[in-house]
Structure formats: C-alpha cells, structure tokens
Amino acid sequence: MRGVVMYAPGDVRVEEREDPRILAPTDAILRLSATCVCGSDLWPWRGIDRVTRPTPMGHEYVGVVEQVGADVRNVKVGDFVVGSFFASDNTCEICLAGYQSRCIHAYPMGREGTQAELLRVPLADGTLVATPGMPDADLIPSFLAASDVLGTGWFAAVAAEVGPGKTVAVVGDGAVGLLGVLAAKQLGAERIIAMSRHADRQALAVEFGATDIVTERGDDGVAKVKELTGGLGAHSVIEAVGTQESIMQAIRATRPGGHVGYVGVLHDVQLPGEELFFSGVHLHGGPAPVRQYLPELIDLIWNRTIDPGKVFDLTLPLDQAAEGYRAMDERRAIKVLLQP
C-alpha cells in the first residue's frame, strides 16, 4: 500500500509500505476513505519534535472494515467506521469513567501511521464506532473531523463546563479551536468569544456560532475578554494552542470559579503557583477521550445537525501529502484532507 513517511523536517514522501495485517484477534483492518494532516504533525515537520528515522505519519482516519480478527464482535466487514487517535479497550475502569485516551491499554494510532491506504486498528471493539450505514460522500469530511479535532474541541468544551447561560472564550483558531466554538454552541453557550486574527478563521468561527471576535492576544486579549464580561472574565475558556502565552491567556480570561478546558498539547509550559492559587480557576484537560463522544457526534453528523467538515479547506490526493504539510505550515490551509 501507499503511505506517508517522514524522513526529516520538511521531508515527507509517499511511498510503498508493507500492507498491515491482523496481529491479534482483537484487530481490524480498514481501507481508509479519508485521512488528514494534523497541527501536531507540523512539530516534526518544523523540527521541534526530532525525526530520527523514517516515520509513518498520521493518526486521524475513517474507512471501511476490510478484515476482522476472530474476537471482534462490534464491527463487521463492510461497516463504515470512525475511530479515535488512541485505541482503547473501552472496558477498563479508566475507560468506563470516560477517559479512553488514558485507557490502561491505550495505543496511539500515530504508531500505525493513518496517512495511508490501509490501517490496522488494535482493540477494534473498544475503538471503532460504525455509522448507521454507508455515508454520502459529502459527510465523510465531517466523520473524519470526529476522529480527532471535533472530538477534541468537544472534550475541551465539556472540560470547561460549557452550558446554557455561560459565556465561553476560545483561545486558538486552528481546527480544534474552531470546533470548540461549534461544541460550545451545541452545548448551549449563550455567548461565544472567538480569539482570532485571521479573517477566514473568524468567518468560520461565526458560522460555527461565535458571537464575538477578539483579535488581541496575551494580556491585551485578556483585557478585551474582561471588558466584554463586565470585568469578570468568561465562565468557560477553551485552550487549543498549548504555549506559555496561550495557557496564561486562558487562565487569566477565566473568572474566579470558572473552568479552563485545555487540549493544546503543552510545550515547555510553567504555571506560576501563586497566581494559580489565587485565581480560583478549575483546570481540566489533556488528550481528549474522543471515543466517549463518538456515538453522539456520529449521530449529530449523520442527521446533518452539525457540519464540522468545514474545517477542511484543502483536499489533496494522498500522493500530494507534502504539499498538504506545506499549506498547513504556511497557514494557507486550516486543515488538509488527504484522499487515499
């Protein structure tokens, strides 16, 4: 099969990889319908994460089950399925509590490399969720979004305790931040403040339900959120970047007693203890347990209640993956869909 392999920063190639096969009776093999490039794939592309050997890339996926191991019960050959970027058993105590991304048997799908034609999914019964039938082609980008960015934005909103009557601020205008806006709207937020300096992303944020746009960042952004909230700060803040500046922006934009849901992978972040202590702010986040939300998200997409696939503003054949990485790196695209 063909698959994307990164050799070094700025050097991804589409080449022939060995076809995956069933290794355990709980595995399934998928023929992928669509895959995509994630913001986190840009860290090795930019040389922030080291690439020491040729590495298969990608952790987002949707596709059709082509083969199942002897113990697989919940999905069958021919099903169209969505899975999370972490495989999980969905039976351990951590999974049952709703934290499948921290399952005691969690397996990162990035290790398999989903930017490919075929994919092995371990723990298929606990990981994959089938759609009610074969989806129309125009729904596939939305199901693909559910695999990571939508599920992650949704978790961020839940972690930030978004709900009716609440004012929500969203730090970060990448696909996750934008879908955090969509999630906040679905969860009943009264007011949604999107923080973005890019016109195309502001427009999509408004389409997804943002009521206010703040273009300032850092302390100026915090001041603007406070100005919009009677000096108090937002009830709920979604943090979808992961830098020192963005996490402090999120904490300082939250009112005492409010909640921050942080899903941007933190890079070299130091939290000041004394400021945190006196802030009275709840912090909750981490790798999103996307599996928990998949049944609900699949239903919302299948019924065309939400259209998260709009975050894909560039579609390329898998063979042009390198151009997809470049387009996202240069911010020419919000998110790139790759067609195997």
Residue ranges in contact with Zn ion by CB under 5 A: 88-89, 92, 95, 103
Name the residue nearer to Zn ion (CB basis): 109 or 194: 109
CB of 286 to Zn ion, least distance (A): 15
Q: Which is nearer to Zn ion, 95 or 247 (CB)?
A: 95
**How far apart, in whole angstroms, are the C-alpha atoms of residue 174 and residue 333?**
10
Cβ at position 124, least distance to Zn ion in Å: 14
Smaller CB separation from Zn ion, 41 or 89: 89
In eight-state DSSP terms, residue 238 is E
Residue 233 vs 289, nearer CB to Zn ion: 289
In angstroms, give the least distance from the CB of 193 to Zn ion. Answer: 36
Locate 216 and state its tokens. 């300032």
Residue 150: other Cβ atoms inside 10 A: 32
Q: What is the residue-wise DSSP string for 27-42?
A: -EEEEEEEEEE-GGGH
State how far the Cα of 210 lies from the Cα of 323, in Å rounded to an integer.
31
Question: In this structure, how many other beta carbons lie within 10 angstroms of the beta carbon of residue 130?
Answer: 15
- Min separation Cβ 123 and Zn ion, Å: 8
Q: Which is nearer to Zn ion, 88 or 246 (CB)?
A: 88
Contact 311, 201 (CB under 8 A): no
Least Å distance between CB 96 and Zn ion?
8
Which one, of 138, 145, 98, 128, lies nearest residue 286 by Cα? 98
Give the C-alpha distances (Å, rounded to integers) separating 51 from 8, 54, 171, 184: 6, 7, 29, 36
Candidates 263, 169, 157; CA nearest to 225 is: 169
Q: Decide: 157 and 238 in contact? Cβ < 8 Å.
A: yes
CB of 26 to Zn ion, least distance (A): 12
Cβ neighbours of 80 (radius 10 Å) = 21
Q: How far is the CB of 97 from Zn ion (least distance, A)?
A: 9
Nearer to Zn ion, 92 or 265 (CB): 92
**Closer residue to Zn ion (CB): 2 or 102:** 102
Listing DSSP states for 36-73 in one string gives: EE-GGGHHHHHTSS---S-EE----EEEEEEEE-TT--
